[in-house]
Amino acid sequence: MNKNTIIGSILIAIIVIWWMAVNNANAEAQAAARAKARAAAAQVSKDSSAAGSLVVPKKTPEIKAAPVLGGSDESGSASSPTLADDSAKAAVKAPAVIKERSVTVETDKFIMTLTNKGGKVKSVIVKALPDSAGKFPEIIQDTALGAFDLKLDNADLSEAMFEMGNAPEKIVVTDSASVQFAFQDANGNQVIRTYGFTKNGQGVRQENKFIGFKPSAYELVWNGGLKETEEVPKSGGFFGAGRSYFFSEVVFNNMYSVEREMTNEAKSFNATEGKVIWAGLRRKYVAMTVQFDEAVPAVLKAVPIKVGGSDAEPATYKLTIADDVRGAQSVNYDLMILPLKWDDLASLNKDYEKIIVSGWSWCGADVWFVWICKMLLKLLNLFYSIIPNYGVAIILVTIIVRGITTPFTVKQIKSTRGMAALKPQLDEINLKYRTDPQKKQAAMMELYSKNNINPLASCTGGCLPMLIQMPIFMGLFFVLGRAIELRGAPAFLWISDLSRSDVVWSGISIPIIMPSGLAILPWLMVATTYFQTKVTMSSNAGMDPAQQKMMVWMMPAMMLLFSAVMPSGLVLYWIIGNIWSIAQYKYIYSKFPPINGSTPKTSSKLKGKNVKDAEIVK
């Protein structure tokens, strides 16, 4: 391993550690903000919530009686009920008391519970993410608050009781089905909220029809947040690495790119310009979004809210989507329930796969890096289809990737060794023509030509291969840390879940490093990293022995600090990569041995000249 390779390896490690540190910093900031919010909430209400529920600031009472529909038009006066039927208006009676009811709709993809209190979503259970006991998880964090309340101008319908006719308590969708909620105010103005379901659809069609009035603006309010389906580690380990593989983000497609945002304070997105195709919330393996029929200039506002009784889990968000719909007779969209499986997301043609992996748009990484990750995941799934074991698939993908990048490594070493072999002669030329730059340049070019070395290629040969390989290695790193395919997937022997650390004994733990218990793979990572660093350092003729010794111990220590809480699939990838590198460098150095086994020696002629020059200086 030459200096460029070492620098590249350190750079990869620094990038990973930086990424984890940033996520941990965000988590700590969120924890501070949540603590402040709890203190404020305690001043307002001592019984705000039971343990394990969301701590949400107490609502300011807005409308105790039934809301009255019909905001103000552009002139500022109340809008006229031009859409209402006069005969229907005449027949308006005092509304009957409506009791709270709910209906549960089950499709092949999910189970959704709707309530007539606000005509909103109360619960969503995803069938794609069963736990170890086979139970499906709830993804609405607080089902009492639910999701997708509707506000029209100054009328808040979140507490309004909608009529739902003779809808049954349970509907199992065999082809398609719909549930309708109707609200009518004292003036006869109506809002009809309809939810349409299909047997195999990923989403629910939500239509909001306005009768008797024309709202000028609406807000769709998701108060209940999105719940994590996985068990979040109690301790994040070094730099919060354990929690770095869990995500709680506001996600949206603004037509230019897919944005993934975390915030520890109330924040607006897309407020000044641009349009939104879809927007929603994301956790590790699932997202839920509002997908519009066409891009709309909606403004998003996210407010962090506390999750459970612990600060360990990342906060979720209250999400508000607001838009101007002046003169519209309805507002329609699809509520998308999306387990984050790449092929399923890509089939929707809305760039949903970029929720899993995105990239900087300024350098085009939102295209080429996403493509690399896609190809790596396809390769992983291809091997799994042949040998149904993701542990084996990871090993095969690692070998393929390393094999593809080996020619770059060979070129890098040949280039470095070629320049090192010429160093004594270059030193002689520098000394001989030190006062004549033109002759020195000519002599150097002649030397390069005789030895078939391109100095420009040699200069770039060390860094360019690493730059080419780094996106591939980082892509595989991200894919293995986020792929839903690895969720609960066993490998072999003691590795029972490739998406989690391979803890074999929870009775013994190492604070910070292995907080959940003793794992085996991180120690194998340390051992292989040590031998890999040692074999490559021993063959590096140009590095100071003290630096070599430091690197031999520093690299394994760094890997242990953040690999102990990595998903075991990631650690397996690094171990196989280390073993490949050991064998690779052993072979390459046997073909291209170091110059004289150490730092190239200068010729006796050069030594004499150096002595003479020293005497002149003296």
pLDDT in tens, 514-546: 777 788 998 999 999 888 888 776 655 555 666
pLDDT given at position 18: 58
Q: At residue 603, does pLDDT exceed 60? A: no
Gap between the Cα atoms of 283 and 79, Å rounded: 41
Q: How far is CA 140 from the centre of its chain?
A: 20
Please tell me the distance from the alpha carbon of residue 216 to that of residue 203, in angstroms, as a whole number.
Answer: 27
Write the DSSP symbol of residue 136: P
- For residue 21, pLDDT over 80 is answered with no
For the chain, domains (ranges, CATH) are 21-356 (2.70.98.90), 379-597 (no CATH)
SS3 content of the chain, % helix, strand, coil (to 5): 40, 20, 40
> What is the Cα–Cα distance from 333 to 63, expressed in whole angstroms?
27
Q: In the prediction, which pLDDT does 227 show? A: 94
**According to the model, what pLDDT value does residue 457 have?**
55
Per-residue model confidence as pLDDT tens digits over 245-269: 788 999 999 988 999 999 989 999 9
pLDDT for res 70: 75
- With contact defined as beta carbons under 8 Å apart, do 486 and 567 qualify? yes
Q: Residues 402-439: pLDDT tens digits?
A: 888 888 777 777 776 777 778 788 888 888 888 888 88
Number of H helices, E strands in the chain: 12, 20
Residue 570 per-residue DSSP state: H
DSSP label of 299:
E
Q: Given a cut of 50, is residue 42 above it in pLDDT?
A: no
Three-state SS at 258:
strand
Select the more confidently predicted residue: 500 or 137.
137
Where is pLDDT greater, at 522 or 59? 522
Stretch 349-354: mean pLDDT: 96
Collapsed DSSP state (helix, strand, coil) of residue 478:
helix
Q: What is the pLDDT of residue 60?
A: 36
User: What is the band of 135 on the pLDDT scale with cuts at 50, 70, 90?
Assistant: very high
25 has a pLDDT exceeding 60? no
Tell me the CB-side half-sphere exposure of residue 94, using CA atoms within 13 A. Answer: 1
CA distance 228 to 141: 8
- DSSP codes of every residue in 5-70: HHHHHHHHHHHHHHHHHHHHHHHHHHHHHHHHHHHHHHHH-TTS--TTS---PPPPP--SS-----
Question: Which residue in 390, 378, 289 sits closest to 339, CA to CA?
Answer: 289
C-alpha–C-alpha distance, residues 508 and 322, integer Å: 51
Mean pLDDT of 7-13: 59
Q: Give the list of residues 6+ apart from residue 597 with CB closer than 8 angstroms, or none.
A: 541
Per-residue pLDDT band at 48 (split at 50, 70, 90):
very low
> 329-341 pLDDT, tens per residue?
999 999 999 999 9
Find tokens 């030459």 and name the residue.
2
CB 32, CB 264: distance < 8 Å = yes
pLDDT band (50, 70, 90) for residue 360: confident
On average, the pLDDT of the chain sits at 79
Asked if 352 and 239 count as a contact pair (C-beta separation under 8 A), the reply is no
Q: Is the pLDDT of residue 84 over 70?
A: no
pLDDT at position 13 is 59
- The answer to whether the CB of 206 falls within 8 A of the CB of 184 is no
Q: What is the pLDDT of residue 68?
A: 81
Place of tokens 């350092």: 537
CA distance 567 to 120: 37
Residue 607 CB neighbours (<10 A): 11
The lowest-confidence range among 152-161, 365-374, 458-467, 523-532 is: 458-467
Q: Of 255-264, 561-570, 585-594, which gets the smallest average pLDDT?
A: 585-594
